[in-house]
Amino acid sequence: MKTIKAGFLRHMTAALGILAGLLVVSSARAEGPAPKAPPRVIELEEMVIEGKVAKPQVFYVLGRSRVEYENLKMQRVFVDRIVSGAKKNPF
């Protein structure tokens, strides 16, 4: 007699389990969809709620720091264009 290896028996058991699962699923599908229940409606009475609406508040404080303007070059060209545009008639 030939001996059957344990790995072969595990594979066969798994295959039979999968086959049985597929049969159960296919038989459940054959019954058709279950009838849907009508939607449930809940009616509530009118309520009056009084109070104040809380507004969120955030405070953010930065420490002082020294700002260095050494690398900036101040030019008056842009200011002159603003002044001349303000003097023109808008209409």
CA angle 40/41/44 to nearest 5° reads: 145
8 inside domain: yes
Q: Is residue 7 part of a domain?
A: yes
Q: Which residue has the higher pLDDT, 36 or 73?
A: 36
Spatial distance between the Cα atoms of 50 and 75, rounded to a whole number of angstroms: 59
Question: 26 is in which domain, residue-wise?
Answer: 1-32
% of the chain beyond a pLDDT of 90: 0
Number of domains within the chain: 1
Distances (CA, A) of 21 to 10, 35, 47: 17, 24, 53
pLDDT in tens, 51-61: 888 888 888 78
Separation between Cα atoms, residue 34 and residue 16, nearest integer Å = 29
Residue 70 lies in a domain: no
Q: How far apart are CA 88 and CA 82, in angstroms?
A: 10
User: Residue 11 falls within a domain, yes or no?
Assistant: yes
- pLDDT by residue (tens digit) across 19-40? 877 777 665 554 566 778 888 9
